[in-house]
Amino acid sequence: MEHREKNDADHGWDLVIEPKYGLLHLQLDDLWRYRDLIYLFVRRDFVAQFKQTILGPAWFIIQPLLTTIMFVIVFKKIANLSTDAIPPILFYLSGNILWQYFAVSVTNTSETFQSNANIFGKVYFPRLVVPISIVISQMLQLTIQFLFFLTFWFYYRFFQDVDLHVNVFMLLLPVLVVNMAMLGLGCGIIVSSLTTKYRDLRFLLRFGIQLMMYATTVIFPLSSVTSDSVRIFLLANPMTPIIEAFRFAFLGNGSFSWVYLAYSFGFGCVVLFVGMIVFTRVEKNFMDTV
Protein backbone atom coordinates (compact mmCIF):
# COMPACT_ATOMS: atom_id res chain seq x y z
CA MET A 1 0.00 0.00 0.00
CA GLU A 2 1.50 3.25 -1.05
CA HIS A 3 -1.06 5.60 0.37
CA ARG A 4 -3.54 5.90 3.13
CA GLU A 5 -6.96 5.01 1.85
CA LYS A 6 -9.29 7.95 1.92
CA ASN A 7 -12.57 6.14 1.72
CA ASP A 8 -13.96 2.71 0.98
CA ALA A 9 -14.25 3.28 -2.75
CA ASP A 10 -10.48 3.59 -2.98
CA HIS A 11 -9.86 0.50 -0.96
CA GLY A 12 -7.71 -2.19 -2.50
CA TRP A 13 -5.83 0.13 -4.88
CA ASP A 14 -2.11 0.49 -4.53
CA LEU A 15 -2.02 3.99 -5.83
CA VAL A 16 -4.65 6.71 -6.02
CA ILE A 17 -3.74 9.81 -7.98
CA GLU A 18 -5.79 12.84 -7.06
CA PRO A 19 -5.52 16.56 -7.74
CA LYS A 20 -5.08 17.41 -4.06
CA TYR A 21 -3.76 15.48 -1.12
CA GLY A 22 -3.78 16.25 2.57
CA LEU A 23 -1.17 18.59 3.99
CA LEU A 24 0.78 15.75 5.58
CA HIS A 25 0.81 13.50 2.54
CA LEU A 26 4.60 13.36 2.51
CA GLN A 27 5.03 9.79 1.21
CA LEU A 28 8.06 9.10 3.35
CA ASP A 29 7.65 5.37 2.79
CA ASP A 30 7.98 6.00 -0.92
CA LEU A 31 11.18 7.94 -0.24
CA TRP A 32 12.55 5.04 1.77
CA ARG A 33 11.87 2.66 -1.10
CA TYR A 34 14.01 4.85 -3.36
CA ARG A 35 16.97 4.95 -0.94
CA ASP A 36 19.17 3.21 -3.51
CA LEU A 37 18.53 6.06 -5.89
CA ILE A 38 19.77 8.52 -3.26
CA TYR A 39 22.95 6.49 -2.95
CA LEU A 40 23.43 6.38 -6.71
CA PHE A 41 22.83 10.11 -7.12
CA VAL A 42 25.41 10.83 -4.42
CA ARG A 43 27.85 8.51 -6.15
CA ARG A 44 27.14 10.08 -9.51
CA ASP A 45 27.75 13.59 -8.18
CA PHE A 46 30.97 12.51 -6.54
CA VAL A 47 32.35 10.52 -9.46
CA ALA A 48 31.23 12.81 -12.26
CA GLN A 49 32.37 16.01 -10.62
CA PHE A 50 36.06 15.29 -10.94
CA LYS A 51 36.18 13.37 -14.20
CA GLN A 52 38.75 15.05 -16.44
CA THR A 53 40.25 17.18 -13.68
CA ILE A 54 43.90 16.80 -12.74
CA LEU A 55 43.60 17.50 -9.04
CA GLY A 56 40.34 15.61 -8.56
CA PRO A 57 38.99 15.64 -5.00
CA ALA A 58 41.90 17.89 -3.96
CA TRP A 59 39.63 20.71 -5.07
CA PHE A 60 37.57 20.06 -1.97
CA ILE A 61 40.57 21.25 0.04
CA ILE A 62 42.01 23.94 -2.19
CA GLN A 63 38.89 26.04 -2.12
CA PRO A 64 38.55 26.44 1.68
CA LEU A 65 42.32 26.78 1.99
CA LEU A 66 42.50 29.72 -0.39
CA THR A 67 39.47 31.36 1.18
CA THR A 68 41.00 30.95 4.62
CA ILE A 69 44.28 32.49 3.52
CA MET A 70 42.33 35.40 2.07
CA PHE A 71 40.42 35.85 5.31
CA VAL A 72 43.61 35.78 7.32
CA ILE A 73 45.08 38.53 5.17
CA VAL A 74 42.00 40.74 4.98
CA PHE A 75 40.32 40.31 8.33
CA LYS A 76 43.28 39.52 10.55
CA LYS A 77 46.28 41.29 9.06
CA ILE A 78 44.51 44.32 7.62
CA ALA A 79 41.36 44.81 9.67
CA ASN A 80 42.83 43.17 12.76
CA LEU A 81 39.56 41.61 13.91
CA SER A 82 39.58 39.40 17.00
CA THR A 83 39.75 35.63 16.65
CA ASP A 84 39.22 34.93 20.33
CA ALA A 85 42.87 33.98 20.90
CA ILE A 86 42.49 31.09 18.47
CA PRO A 87 45.11 30.72 15.71
CA PRO A 88 43.51 32.60 12.80
CA ILE A 89 43.91 29.72 10.34
CA LEU A 90 41.96 27.35 12.59
CA PHE A 91 39.42 30.03 13.36
CA TYR A 92 38.63 30.97 9.79
CA LEU A 93 38.92 27.45 8.43
CA SER A 94 36.36 26.15 10.91
CA GLY A 95 33.90 28.94 10.15
CA ASN A 96 34.53 28.63 6.48
CA ILE A 97 33.95 24.92 5.95
CA LEU A 98 30.79 24.92 8.05
CA TRP A 99 29.40 27.96 6.33
CA GLN A 100 30.25 26.61 2.90
CA TYR A 101 28.42 23.40 3.69
CA PHE A 102 25.27 25.29 4.54
CA ALA A 103 25.55 27.80 1.70
CA VAL A 104 26.23 25.24 -1.02
CA SER A 105 23.49 22.97 0.29
CA VAL A 106 20.95 25.77 0.10
CA THR A 107 21.98 27.04 -3.32
CA ASN A 108 22.19 23.62 -4.91
CA THR A 109 18.95 22.27 -3.49
CA SER A 110 17.18 25.47 -4.39
CA GLU A 111 17.70 24.62 -8.06
CA THR A 112 16.27 21.12 -7.78
CA PHE A 113 13.35 21.72 -10.10
CA GLN A 114 15.07 23.82 -12.74
CA SER A 115 18.14 21.68 -13.16
CA ASN A 116 16.27 18.38 -13.16
CA ALA A 117 13.28 19.41 -15.26
CA ASN A 118 14.22 17.02 -18.05
CA ILE A 119 14.33 13.97 -15.77
CA PHE A 120 11.31 15.01 -13.74
CA GLY A 121 9.35 15.43 -16.95
CA LYS A 122 9.93 11.86 -17.97
CA VAL A 123 9.77 9.66 -14.95
CA TYR A 124 8.32 9.58 -11.47
CA PHE A 125 10.35 9.07 -8.35
CA PRO A 126 9.97 10.93 -5.06
CA ARG A 127 11.37 14.35 -5.95
CA LEU A 128 12.87 14.74 -2.48
CA VAL A 129 15.47 12.19 -3.52
CA VAL A 130 17.32 14.91 -5.42
CA PRO A 131 17.73 17.55 -2.68
CA ILE A 132 18.50 14.87 -0.10
CA SER A 133 21.22 13.40 -2.29
CA ILE A 134 22.67 16.89 -2.78
CA VAL A 135 22.88 17.46 0.96
CA ILE A 136 24.48 14.06 1.46
CA SER A 137 27.09 14.52 -1.25
CA GLN A 138 27.94 17.88 0.29
CA MET A 139 28.38 15.97 3.54
CA LEU A 140 31.10 13.87 1.91
CA GLN A 141 32.82 17.05 0.89
CA LEU A 142 32.47 18.36 4.42
CA THR A 143 34.03 15.18 5.79
CA ILE A 144 37.12 15.60 3.62
CA GLN A 145 37.38 19.25 4.60
CA PHE A 146 36.98 18.34 8.23
CA LEU A 147 39.88 15.88 7.99
CA PHE A 148 41.88 18.68 6.45
CA PHE A 149 40.92 20.87 9.40
CA LEU A 150 42.05 18.13 11.78
CA THR A 151 45.52 18.04 10.24
CA PHE A 152 45.87 21.74 11.05
CA TRP A 153 44.47 21.05 14.48
CA PHE A 154 47.14 18.43 15.14
CA TYR A 155 49.82 20.67 13.75
CA TYR A 156 48.90 23.50 16.12
CA ARG A 157 48.38 21.12 19.01
CA PHE A 158 51.70 19.26 18.79
CA PHE A 159 54.07 21.54 16.92
CA GLN A 160 52.94 24.99 17.93
CA ASP A 161 52.01 24.20 21.52
CA VAL A 162 48.67 25.86 21.21
CA ASP A 163 46.36 24.98 24.06
CA LEU A 164 43.89 22.61 22.36
CA HIS A 165 42.20 19.75 24.18
CA VAL A 166 40.21 16.76 23.25
CA ASN A 167 36.93 17.18 25.07
CA VAL A 168 33.53 15.61 25.35
CA PHE A 169 31.76 18.33 23.35
CA MET A 170 33.45 17.02 20.23
CA LEU A 171 30.86 14.27 20.32
CA LEU A 172 28.33 16.93 19.36
CA LEU A 173 29.81 17.08 15.87
CA PRO A 174 27.31 14.68 14.23
CA VAL A 175 24.43 16.63 15.76
CA LEU A 176 25.84 19.87 14.38
CA VAL A 177 26.22 18.37 10.92
CA VAL A 178 22.69 16.95 10.94
CA ASN A 179 21.40 20.29 12.14
CA MET A 180 23.12 22.10 9.28
CA ALA A 181 21.84 19.51 6.82
CA MET A 182 18.28 20.10 8.02
CA LEU A 183 18.67 23.85 7.73
CA GLY A 184 20.25 23.65 4.29
CA LEU A 185 17.76 21.15 2.97
CA GLY A 186 14.76 22.91 4.49
CA CYS A 187 15.66 26.38 3.20
CA GLY A 188 16.72 24.97 -0.17
CA ILE A 189 13.51 23.11 -0.88
CA ILE A 190 11.37 26.02 0.24
CA VAL A 191 13.17 28.27 -2.21
CA SER A 192 13.06 25.66 -4.97
CA SER A 193 9.31 25.24 -4.48
CA LEU A 194 8.74 28.96 -4.66
CA THR A 195 10.94 29.47 -7.70
CA THR A 196 9.13 27.10 -10.04
CA LYS A 197 6.78 29.95 -10.84
CA TYR A 198 8.48 33.16 -9.82
CA ARG A 199 12.17 32.99 -10.46
CA ASP A 200 13.04 36.29 -8.82
CA LEU A 201 13.79 34.48 -5.61
CA ARG A 202 16.78 32.75 -7.16
CA PHE A 203 18.64 36.00 -7.58
CA LEU A 204 17.66 37.08 -4.12
CA LEU A 205 18.96 33.80 -2.73
CA ARG A 206 22.44 33.93 -4.27
CA PHE A 207 22.96 37.41 -3.09
CA GLY A 208 21.22 36.83 0.24
CA ILE A 209 23.46 33.87 1.10
CA GLN A 210 26.52 36.02 0.52
CA LEU A 211 25.20 38.71 2.79
CA MET A 212 24.10 36.22 5.41
CA MET A 213 27.68 35.10 5.90
CA TYR A 214 28.33 38.44 7.56
CA ALA A 215 25.37 37.88 9.87
CA THR A 216 26.96 34.62 10.98
CA THR A 217 30.07 34.32 13.12
CA VAL A 218 32.28 33.14 10.30
CA ILE A 219 34.84 35.93 10.31
CA PHE A 220 34.48 37.17 13.90
CA PRO A 221 33.68 35.50 17.22
CA LEU A 222 30.37 36.16 18.95
CA SER A 223 32.30 37.24 22.05
CA SER A 224 33.67 40.24 20.15
CA VAL A 225 30.16 41.62 19.70
CA THR A 226 29.34 43.94 22.54
CA SER A 227 26.08 45.53 21.40
CA ASP A 228 23.14 43.53 22.78
CA SER A 229 20.83 44.17 19.85
CA VAL A 230 23.43 43.00 17.35
CA ARG A 231 24.07 39.92 19.51
CA ILE A 232 20.40 38.99 19.45
CA PHE A 233 20.32 39.56 15.72
CA LEU A 234 23.30 37.25 15.22
CA LEU A 235 21.88 34.59 17.51
CA ALA A 236 18.56 34.64 15.70
CA ASN A 237 20.53 33.24 12.77
CA PRO A 238 20.43 29.48 13.43
CA MET A 239 23.88 28.99 11.87
CA THR A 240 25.56 31.10 14.57
CA PRO A 241 25.05 28.69 17.49
CA ILE A 242 26.29 25.82 15.33
CA ILE A 243 29.55 27.52 14.39
CA GLU A 244 30.04 28.76 17.95
CA ALA A 245 29.46 25.27 19.35
CA PHE A 246 31.92 23.79 16.87
CA ARG A 247 34.60 26.28 17.86
CA PHE A 248 33.87 25.69 21.49
CA ALA A 249 34.26 21.93 21.08
CA PHE A 250 37.38 21.91 18.91
CA LEU A 251 39.13 25.18 19.66
CA GLY A 252 38.12 25.65 23.28
CA ASN A 253 36.81 29.14 22.75
CA GLY A 254 33.36 30.22 21.70
CA SER A 255 29.98 31.09 23.14
CA PHE A 256 28.40 27.75 23.82
CA SER A 257 24.91 27.39 25.24
CA TRP A 258 22.49 24.48 25.17
CA VAL A 259 19.63 26.95 24.80
CA TYR A 260 21.05 28.46 21.62
CA LEU A 261 21.81 25.06 20.25
CA ALA A 262 18.30 23.79 21.03
CA TYR A 263 16.89 26.87 19.31
CA SER A 264 18.98 26.14 16.25
CA PHE A 265 17.90 22.51 16.19
CA GLY A 266 14.26 23.42 16.64
CA PHE A 267 14.58 25.95 13.83
CA GLY A 268 16.05 23.25 11.61
CA CYS A 269 13.17 20.87 12.37
CA VAL A 270 10.53 23.49 11.64
CA VAL A 271 12.18 24.65 8.41
CA LEU A 272 12.59 21.10 7.18
CA PHE A 273 9.02 20.17 8.04
CA VAL A 274 7.55 23.25 6.39
CA GLY A 275 9.87 22.72 3.43
CA MET A 276 8.70 19.17 2.93
CA ILE A 277 5.06 20.20 3.02
CA VAL A 278 5.59 22.98 0.49
CA PHE A 279 7.80 20.81 -1.68
CA THR A 280 5.40 17.88 -1.90
CA ARG A 281 2.58 20.23 -2.81
CA VAL A 282 4.58 21.74 -5.62
CA GLU A 283 6.25 18.62 -7.00
CA LYS A 284 3.07 17.13 -8.44
CA ASN A 285 2.31 19.84 -10.93
CA PHE A 286 5.53 21.76 -11.25
CA MET A 287 6.12 20.37 -14.77
CA ASP A 288 3.31 22.61 -15.97
CA THR A 289 4.88 25.79 -14.69
CA VAL A 290 8.63 25.39 -14.60
Partner 1 sequence: MANKQTVISVENMSKQYRLGDVGTGTLAHDLNRWWFRVRGRDDPYRKVTEANDLTESGAADYVWALENINFQVQRGDVLGIIGRNGAGKSTLLKILSRVTGPTIGKVKMKGRIGSLLEVGTGFHPELTGRENVYLNGAILGMTRREVASKLDDIVGFSGCTRYVDTPVKRYSSGMMVRLGFAVAAYLEPEILIVDEVLAVGDAEFQKKCIRKMKDVAKNGRTILFVSHNMTSVRNLCTKGLLLRAGTVQLTASVEECLDRYLSDDANHERKRKENYFGDRICRLDSVLLQDESGKDRSDYQTGESTTLNLEIEAFEDSPNTAFHIGIYREDEVLAAFVNSERNHFSIDLESGRRTVRCRLSNVSFSPGRYMIYVTIISKGIAIYSLANAAALQIHSNGRYEEGRRPYLMLDDEWQDT
List contacts with partner 1 (CB under 8 A): 10, 12-19, 33-34, 36-37, 39-41, 43-44, 47-48, 51-52, 119-125, 197-198, 284-285, 287-289
CA distances for 95 relative to 55, 83, 222, 249, 288, angstroms:
24, 11, 12, 13, 41
Closest distance of CB 48 from partner 1, Å: 4
Q: 244 or 283, CB closer to partner 1?
A: 283
Of the candidates 116, 141, 125, which has an alpha carbon nearest to the alpha carbon of residue 36? Answer: 125
Smallest distance, Å, CB 69 to partner 1? 31
**Given the complex with partner 1, which of 56 and 121 has the nearer CB atom?**
121
Q: Is the Cβ of residue 94 or residue 280 nearer to partner 1 in the bound state?
A: 280
Return phi, psi of residue 218, to 5°.
Answer: -80, -45
Contacting residues for 114 by C-beta, under 8 A, at least 6 apart = 192, 195, 196, 290
Q: Under 8 Å CB-to-CB from 144, ≥6 apart: which residues?
A: 57, 60, 61
Minimum CB–partner distance for residue 116 and partner 1 (Å) = 9
By C-alpha distance, which of 68, 262, 253, 236 is closest to 149?
A: 68
Shortest spacing between CB 217 and partner 1, in angstroms: 37
Nearer residue to partner 1 within complex by CB, 160 or 289: 289
